[in-house]
Amino acid sequence: MSSHPLSTQPEDEDSIRFEHVGMRYGRGEEVLNDVSFTLKKGSMNFLTGPSGAGKSSLLKLMYLNMRPSRGLITLFGQDTSQIDIGAIPVLKRRMGVVLQDFRLIQHLNVFENVALPLRVAGVKRDAYQENVVSLLKWVGLGDRMRALPPTLSGGEKQRAAIARAVISKPEILIADEPTGNVDMEIGKRLIRLFSELNRLGTTVIIATHDLSLIPSGATHMTLNNGVLTIPENDNGSGAANV
């Protein structure tokens, strides 16, 4: 197995904090009900729960694609309700996000899609080419670097989206069912990638239905009918109730 190019992150405050957060769509019932927790800097966290439990809504609040109906969300020490709209893109560049619909740019090939966060950040191609190639080989896309998204299978699109999310070495990685379109072997390899990124300092939160993918030592949070629970014996290295 080839190595992948990740480096350590600087120390920072708690990554994400929810305090009595509620979320509803329109006039409907709350899909998140009085959710409170803290994701500590550098922690590894898994979020499980049945379909419709509110997992995707919770993640959308984390990466600022939605605002809560009530309660306080703090991101990198900042109250998200007080963040100027012009500052949101800057904060988002500190996060890597893997969504279920992939959101690959159709006219860019796999290499270009994965390299896009670095290009946007002003990194020169000579400085990132080797890292992008190495990472694509590690996720099993070494022979698909020049392929366009419409020619990829669902699993290949998933792996390309994951590579794009981690290539910039984000401070927070948020992944919604990142192994849902790949076989078990590839799924375990991707979890190892996330674990290595976490070992080097990234705060990781992964929503999944597959309990077998949760490594020993990770915090396991459960969402059911909009209510979040965290094991009482959590040692404080991951998520904690507040």
> Concatenated DSSP letters for 54-107?
SHHHHHHHHTTSS--SEEEEEETTEEGGGS-GGGHHHHHTTEEEE-TT----TT
Residue 126 lies in a domain: no
Helix (H, G, I), strand (E, B) or coil at 192: helix
At position 117, the amino acid (one-letter code) is P
Q: What is the largest CA-CA distance in the chain?
A: 52
Residue 153 lies in a domain: no
Residue 41 lies in a domain: yes
pLDDT range class, residue 187, cuts 50, 70, 90: confident
Residue 68 lies in a domain: yes
pLDDT recorded at residue 232 = 65
pLDDT range class, residue 237, cuts 50, 70, 90: low
224/208 Cα distance (integer angstroms): 13
Which residue in the block uniquely carries the two structure tokens 């927790």? 37
Strand residue runs (E) in the chain: 16-24, 30-39, 44-48, 70-75, 78-79, 95-98, 172-176, 203-207, 219-224, 227-229, 239-240
pLDDT range class, residue 233, cuts 50, 70, 90: low
State pLDDT tens for residues 126-162: 999 999 999 999 999 999 999 999 999 999 999 999 9
pLDDT recorded at residue 9 = 39
pLDDT range class, residue 242, cuts 50, 70, 90: low
Average pLDDT, the chain: 88
Query: Contact 100/180 with Cβ under 8 angstroms?
Result: yes
146/96 Cα distance (integer angstroms): 23
Total domains in the chain come to 1
pLDDT recorded at residue 163 = 95
Helix (H, G, I), strand (E, B) or coil at 171: coil
Residue 124 lies in a domain: no
Q: Quote the domain boundaries for residue 223.
A: 16-105+170-240
Residue 159 lies in a domain: no
pLDDT range class, residue 11, cuts 50, 70, 90: very low
Residue in 117, 129, 185, 192 with CA at minimum distance from that of residue 155: 185
pLDDT recorded at residue 8 = 38
156/158 Cα distance (integer angstroms): 5
Residue in 167, 126, 203 with CA at minimum distance from that of residue 4: 167
Question: By percentage, how much of the chain surpasses pLDDT 70?
Answer: 90
Residue 150 lies in a domain: no
CATH of the domain at 223: 3.40.50.300
Residue 13: DSSP 8-state: S
Query: Contact 70/19 with Cβ under 8 angstroms?
Result: no
- The phi, psi pair for 231, rounded to 5°, reads -55, 135
Residue 89 lies in a domain: yes
Residue in 173, 226, 194 with CA at minimum distance from that of residue 49: 226
